Amino acid sequence: MRDISIIGIGQTPVGEHWGRSLRHLAYDALHLAMKDAGTERVDALYVGNMLSGEISGQAHIGPLIADFAGLRGIEAVKIEAACASGAAAFRQGVIGVASGYQDVVAVVGVEKMTDDVGSRLTAGLASAADADYETVHGVTFVALNALIMQRYMHEYGLSKGDFANFSVNAHANGANNPNAMFRRAISKETFMRAGVVANPVSLFDASPMADGAAAAIICPTRLAREYTDKAVHVLASAIATDSLAVHDRKNPLWLQAAEDSAHTAYRQAKITPAELDFFELHDAFTIMAALSLEAAGFAKAGQGTRLAVNGDIALDGKLPIATMGGLKARGHPVGATGMYQIVEAALQLRGEAGKNQLPHARLGMTQNIGGSGATIGTHIFKSSE
């Protein structure tokens, strides 16, 4: 297997792009990434996307986007793994390059969500869950997270306030990210006052749905120098799965696929969690941030919120998370989110994170969660120094 590096990155602002369709958004991010890498050709394109069929009435978006981006003819495939589509697409790119089948590969995560609103979008998102045994009972994506959070608070004796800092931290970091959907810091009081969406999940526990696209160009590390002097090394790439339905899990309060993919990634990268300088985790809901920290080895079961409460997750803390706003403030364009995480990690490792730049960003990890935890992709990156 060949070592791999990221040689180009690009992203569109996350938000409501009324004037840009799915293909335009994907092109915007791809174009920026290819320009950043200084290349006009790639051997293959992997597109991470969840809802193109449901929302835009468009399947088969691999060739659509390749052609639209001036890459007609290349291998181009959509990869779908619900909200983990981004990480899954990136991993396909890694497999393509590592195997030697392809040299220069583009990966783009793209989601167009604002072309549909209300109950149909809710139903589309819920299709990541078990259609016959979860969604048929009227369970939504928010409700599944609420069911997990409710039990978690009950079992570990936690209150709403224990989750506040996940949201406060994300919003503080999003304020300095020009591509973030929400660019205003919030107070703990704002978090506590927010309206309930599905008890105990309130508005500031949940990340906003939005449009967006983010892309990266990868190639073998030995070729990377021909393109750039700020290549970011891909040290690990792993995906693990769990039961689709929450009720079928051995322990509904434990993200087994996060633990499994993180441990595979640590082994590949030959590092321990303590060596990581930051962690772009999947804070689609505050409860997912807590569970992700626990499963990745940063806290014991039931203690994930302590890292938020004591400030470990802040930019100047022991393990900064959501350094560019996370899903909560940057926004959560579902199938694109995993690629936003990777692009943001690359910005930190290249020293280009602006006001949110970490002083010691050498090793970073991203973790992208599909549905309520059935697909989880973990990647580890290292700066070129």
Contact residues toward another protein (CB under 8 A) are 119-120, 122-123, 126, 132-140, 142-143, 146-148, 150-151, 154, 196-201, 243, 245-248, 252
When the beta carbons of 125 and 269 are compared against another protein, the nearer one is 125
Which of 155, 169, 156 shows the shortest CA–CA distance to 283? 169
When the beta carbons of 89 and 148 are compared against another protein, the nearer one is 148
For residue 292, which phi and psi values (nearest 5 degrees)? Answer: -65, -45
The CA distance from 296 to 256, in Å, is 10
CB of 196 to another protein, least distance (A): 8
CB atoms within 10 A of CB 360: 8
CB of 16 to another protein, least distance (A): 18
When the beta carbons of 251 and 272 are compared against another protein, the nearer one is 251
Residue 299 identity (one-letter amino acid)? A
CB of 127 to another protein, least distance (A): 9
Indicate the pairing of strand 4-11 with strand 232-241: antiparallel
The question of whether 332 is a catalytic residue gets the answer yes
Among 17, 233, 332, 379, the one annotated catalytic: 332
When the beta carbons of 123 and 271 are compared against another protein, the nearer one is 123
- Torsion-angle region of 73 (φ positive above 0: left; ψ -120 to 50: alpha; else: beta): left
The tokens of 77 are what? 């495939």
Residue 238 identity (one-letter amino acid)? A
When the beta carbons of 123 and 309 are compared against another protein, the nearer one is 123
CB of 199 to another protein, least distance (A): 5
Among 83, 171, 233, 379, the one annotated catalytic: 83
CB of 126 to another protein, least distance (A): 5
Query: Would you state the torsion angle of the CA atoms of residues 276, 165, 353, 270, taken in this order, to the nearest 10 degrees?
Result: 10
Instruction: Work out the angle at residue 314's Cα, subtended by the Cα atoms of residues 306 and 190, and round it to the nearest 5 degrees.
Output: 80
The tokens of 96 are what? 């393509």
The CA distance from 173 to 185, in Å, is 8
In Å, how far are 69, 224, 319 from 306, measured between CA atoms?
45, 40, 12
When the beta carbons of 148 and 346 are compared against another protein, the nearer one is 148
Indicate the pairing of strand 196-198 with strand 105-111: unpaired
The question of whether 24 is a catalytic residue gets the answer no
Question: What is the set of active-site residues?
Answer: 83, 332
